[in-house]
Amino acid sequence: MQKVEESIGYRFQDKNLLKKAFTHTSYAYENHLQSNEKLEFLGDSILEFISSKYLYENYPMLQEGEMTKVRATVVCEKSLYKVAIMHNFSDFLYLGKSERKTGGEKRPAILADSVEAVIAAIYLDGGISKAEKFIIESLKEEIEIATKHVGDRDYKTVLQEKLQQKGEVSIQYKILKEEGPDHNKSFEAQVSCNGKVLAKGKGKSKKEAHMNAAKKALEKLK
Protein backbone atom coordinates (compact mmCIF):
# COMPACT_ATOMS: atom_id res chain seq x y z
CA MET A 1 0.00 0.00 0.00
CA GLN A 2 3.01 2.28 0.29
CA LYS A 3 3.02 2.86 -3.48
CA VAL A 4 -0.58 4.09 -3.54
CA GLU A 5 0.08 6.33 -0.53
CA GLU A 6 3.01 7.90 -2.35
CA SER A 7 0.90 8.37 -5.45
CA ILE A 8 -2.05 10.06 -3.72
CA GLY A 9 0.22 12.11 -1.47
CA TYR A 10 -1.22 10.93 1.82
CA ARG A 11 0.11 8.46 4.40
CA PHE A 12 -2.56 6.66 6.41
CA GLN A 13 -2.42 6.23 10.17
CA ASP A 14 -5.03 3.46 9.88
CA LYS A 15 -3.92 1.25 6.99
CA ASN A 16 -7.11 -0.81 7.29
CA LEU A 17 -9.13 2.17 6.10
CA LEU A 18 -7.17 2.26 2.86
CA LYS A 19 -7.52 -1.49 2.42
CA LYS A 20 -11.27 -1.22 2.95
CA ALA A 21 -11.45 1.56 0.33
CA PHE A 22 -10.16 -0.93 -2.24
CA THR A 23 -12.32 -3.85 -1.12
CA HIS A 24 -14.96 -4.54 -3.75
CA THR A 25 -18.23 -6.22 -2.75
CA SER A 26 -17.25 -9.40 -4.63
CA TYR A 27 -14.10 -9.84 -2.51
CA ALA A 28 -15.88 -8.84 0.69
CA TYR A 29 -18.57 -11.47 0.10
CA GLU A 30 -16.06 -14.24 -0.56
CA ASN A 31 -13.96 -13.37 2.50
CA HIS A 32 -16.68 -12.25 4.94
CA LEU A 33 -15.36 -8.68 5.13
CA GLN A 34 -16.83 -5.19 4.89
CA SER A 35 -16.80 -3.77 1.37
CA ASN A 36 -16.07 -0.20 0.33
CA GLU A 37 -19.73 0.62 -0.40
CA LYS A 38 -20.29 2.74 2.72
CA LEU A 39 -17.05 4.60 2.08
CA GLU A 40 -18.22 5.25 -1.50
CA PHE A 41 -21.45 6.74 -0.13
CA LEU A 42 -19.58 9.10 2.17
CA GLY A 43 -16.93 9.94 -0.43
CA ASP A 44 -19.57 10.93 -2.96
CA SER A 45 -20.98 13.55 -0.57
CA ILE A 46 -17.51 14.87 0.33
CA LEU A 47 -16.61 15.12 -3.35
CA GLU A 48 -19.75 17.13 -4.14
CA PHE A 49 -19.17 19.47 -1.20
CA ILE A 50 -15.48 20.12 -1.91
CA SER A 51 -16.00 20.63 -5.65
CA SER A 52 -18.90 23.01 -4.94
CA LYS A 53 -16.81 24.93 -2.40
CA TYR A 54 -13.88 25.17 -4.82
CA LEU A 55 -16.09 26.49 -7.63
CA TYR A 56 -17.73 29.02 -5.30
CA GLU A 57 -14.39 30.33 -4.04
CA ASN A 58 -12.41 30.32 -7.28
CA TYR A 59 -14.94 31.11 -10.03
CA PRO A 60 -17.03 34.07 -8.78
CA MET A 61 -18.21 34.90 -12.29
CA LEU A 62 -20.06 31.59 -12.71
CA GLN A 63 -23.80 31.61 -12.07
CA GLU A 64 -25.48 28.93 -9.97
CA GLY A 65 -26.67 27.01 -13.03
CA GLU A 66 -23.20 27.12 -14.57
CA MET A 67 -21.56 25.86 -11.37
CA THR A 68 -24.06 22.99 -11.32
CA LYS A 69 -23.13 22.05 -14.89
CA VAL A 70 -19.39 22.21 -14.18
CA ARG A 71 -19.77 20.07 -11.08
CA ALA A 72 -21.83 17.50 -12.98
CA THR A 73 -19.17 17.37 -15.70
CA VAL A 74 -16.36 16.87 -13.19
CA VAL A 75 -18.03 14.71 -10.54
CA CYS A 76 -18.84 11.82 -12.84
CA GLU A 77 -17.65 8.31 -13.60
CA LYS A 78 -15.50 9.43 -16.54
CA SER A 79 -13.50 11.96 -14.50
CA LEU A 80 -13.11 9.68 -11.49
CA TYR A 81 -12.00 6.84 -13.75
CA LYS A 82 -9.20 9.12 -15.02
CA VAL A 83 -8.14 9.78 -11.42
CA ALA A 84 -8.05 6.04 -10.71
CA ILE A 85 -5.93 5.42 -13.80
CA MET A 86 -3.60 8.29 -12.85
CA HIS A 87 -2.89 6.62 -9.49
CA ASN A 88 -2.92 3.00 -10.77
CA PHE A 89 -5.80 2.04 -8.47
CA SER A 90 -6.39 -1.11 -10.52
CA ASP A 91 -3.20 -2.55 -9.00
CA PHE A 92 -4.60 -2.29 -5.48
CA LEU A 93 -8.21 -3.46 -5.86
CA TYR A 94 -9.38 -6.47 -3.86
CA LEU A 95 -11.75 -8.29 -6.21
CA GLY A 96 -13.57 -11.60 -5.99
CA LYS A 97 -12.37 -14.46 -8.22
CA SER A 98 -15.19 -14.14 -10.77
CA GLU A 99 -14.87 -10.34 -10.90
CA ARG A 100 -11.12 -10.64 -11.44
CA LYS A 101 -11.62 -13.20 -14.23
CA THR A 102 -13.98 -10.87 -16.12
CA GLY A 103 -11.57 -7.91 -15.96
CA GLY A 104 -13.19 -6.07 -13.08
CA GLU A 105 -9.96 -4.23 -12.27
CA LYS A 106 -10.35 -2.33 -15.57
CA ARG A 107 -14.06 -1.58 -15.25
CA PRO A 108 -14.66 2.22 -15.13
CA ALA A 109 -17.53 1.99 -12.62
CA ILE A 110 -15.48 -0.07 -10.14
CA LEU A 111 -12.46 2.22 -10.46
CA ALA A 112 -14.57 5.38 -10.15
CA ASP A 113 -16.21 3.97 -7.01
CA SER A 114 -12.79 3.24 -5.53
CA VAL A 115 -11.85 6.93 -5.89
CA GLU A 116 -14.89 7.97 -3.87
CA ALA A 117 -14.04 5.35 -1.25
CA VAL A 118 -10.44 6.59 -1.01
CA ILE A 119 -11.70 10.17 -0.57
CA ALA A 120 -13.83 9.04 2.38
CA ALA A 121 -10.94 7.01 3.83
CA ILE A 122 -8.63 10.04 3.70
CA TYR A 123 -11.32 12.16 5.37
CA LEU A 124 -11.87 9.65 8.19
CA ASP A 125 -8.14 9.19 8.72
CA GLY A 126 -6.85 12.74 8.33
CA GLY A 127 -9.74 15.17 8.19
CA ILE A 128 -11.45 17.33 5.58
CA SER A 129 -8.40 19.38 4.60
CA LYS A 130 -6.45 16.27 3.56
CA ALA A 131 -9.41 14.99 1.57
CA GLU A 132 -9.79 18.41 -0.06
CA LYS A 133 -6.12 18.44 -1.05
CA PHE A 134 -6.44 15.08 -2.80
CA ILE A 135 -9.67 16.04 -4.57
CA ILE A 136 -8.44 19.39 -5.88
CA GLU A 137 -5.04 18.08 -6.95
CA SER A 138 -6.77 15.25 -8.82
CA LEU A 139 -9.57 17.25 -10.46
CA LYS A 140 -8.23 20.80 -10.77
CA GLU A 141 -7.40 20.41 -14.46
CA GLU A 142 -10.80 18.85 -15.24
CA ILE A 143 -12.54 21.71 -13.41
CA GLU A 144 -10.54 24.30 -15.34
CA ILE A 145 -11.46 22.72 -18.68
CA ALA A 146 -15.13 22.44 -17.72
CA THR A 147 -15.37 26.08 -16.58
CA LYS A 148 -13.86 27.30 -19.85
CA HIS A 149 -16.56 25.61 -21.88
CA VAL A 150 -19.66 25.93 -19.72
CA GLY A 151 -20.23 29.56 -20.66
CA ASP A 152 -19.77 28.80 -24.34
CA ARG A 153 -22.43 26.11 -24.25
CA ASP A 154 -24.80 28.51 -22.56
CA TYR A 155 -24.54 31.24 -25.23
CA LYS A 156 -26.21 29.01 -27.81
CA THR A 157 -28.77 27.75 -25.31
CA VAL A 158 -29.63 31.22 -24.03
CA LEU A 159 -29.90 32.60 -27.57
CA GLN A 160 -32.23 29.78 -28.58
CA GLU A 161 -34.43 30.29 -25.52
CA LYS A 162 -34.57 34.05 -26.11
CA LEU A 163 -35.45 33.75 -29.80
CA GLN A 164 -38.10 31.12 -29.15
CA GLN A 165 -39.96 33.07 -26.48
CA LYS A 166 -42.75 33.90 -28.92
CA GLY A 167 -42.79 30.62 -30.77
CA GLU A 168 -40.69 28.30 -32.91
CA VAL A 169 -38.02 29.88 -35.10
CA SER A 170 -35.29 28.55 -37.41
CA ILE A 171 -31.80 29.24 -36.04
CA GLN A 172 -28.86 28.44 -38.27
CA TYR A 173 -25.08 28.58 -37.83
CA LYS A 174 -22.80 28.80 -40.83
CA ILE A 175 -19.01 28.89 -41.24
CA LEU A 176 -18.08 31.81 -43.51
CA LYS A 177 -14.28 31.60 -43.51
CA GLU A 178 -11.55 29.12 -42.66
CA GLU A 179 -8.00 30.48 -42.60
CA GLY A 180 -4.49 29.47 -41.55
CA PRO A 181 -2.46 26.24 -41.46
CA ASP A 182 -3.83 23.05 -39.89
CA HIS A 183 -2.06 23.62 -36.58
CA ASN A 184 -3.32 27.20 -36.23
CA LYS A 185 -6.63 27.60 -38.01
CA SER A 186 -9.16 30.37 -37.42
CA PHE A 187 -12.83 30.34 -38.34
CA GLU A 188 -15.54 32.95 -38.85
CA ALA A 189 -19.17 31.99 -38.37
CA GLN A 190 -22.54 33.68 -38.54
CA VAL A 191 -25.81 32.96 -36.81
CA SER A 192 -29.14 33.74 -38.43
CA CYS A 193 -32.77 33.51 -37.37
CA ASN A 194 -35.44 32.82 -39.97
CA GLY A 195 -32.95 33.78 -42.67
CA LYS A 196 -31.91 37.08 -41.07
CA VAL A 197 -28.24 37.36 -40.06
CA LEU A 198 -27.95 38.30 -36.38
CA ALA A 199 -24.19 38.36 -35.79
CA LYS A 200 -20.78 36.99 -36.72
CA GLY A 201 -18.06 35.55 -34.52
CA LYS A 202 -14.51 34.22 -34.79
CA GLY A 203 -12.69 31.39 -33.05
CA LYS A 204 -9.89 28.83 -33.18
CA SER A 205 -12.44 26.08 -33.86
CA LYS A 206 -15.80 25.93 -35.63
CA LYS A 207 -17.48 25.42 -32.27
CA GLU A 208 -15.80 28.47 -30.74
CA ALA A 209 -16.74 30.58 -33.76
CA HIS A 210 -20.37 29.47 -33.42
CA MET A 211 -20.37 30.31 -29.72
CA ASN A 212 -18.86 33.76 -30.25
CA ALA A 213 -21.46 34.48 -32.93
CA ALA A 214 -24.19 33.52 -30.47
CA LYS A 215 -22.61 35.70 -27.79
CA LYS A 216 -22.54 38.73 -30.09
CA ALA A 217 -26.12 38.09 -31.14
CA LEU A 218 -27.18 38.13 -27.49
CA GLU A 219 -25.31 41.40 -26.93
CA LYS A 220 -27.14 42.99 -29.87
CA LEU A 221 -30.52 41.70 -28.69
CA LYS A 222 -29.97 43.26 -25.25
CA distance 111 to 87: 11
Overall residue count recorded for the chain in this entry: 222
| Residue 179 known to be catalytic | no
Q: Which residues contact 65 (CB under 8 A, 6 or more apart)?
A: 154
Q: Which residues contact 118 (CB under 8 A, 6 or more apart)?
A: 8, 18, 21, 22, 39, 43, 89, 134
The continuous run of DSSP H or E covering 84 comes out as helix 77-86
User: 41: helix, coil or strand?
Assistant: helix
| Residue 44 known to be catalytic | yes
Q: Which of 105, 113, 116, 142 is catalytic?
A: 116
Do 80 and 120 contact (CB within 8 A), yes or no? no
Q: Which of 40, 44, 113, 142 is catalytic?
A: 44
CA distance 207 to 202: 10
Show which residues are catalytic.
44, 116
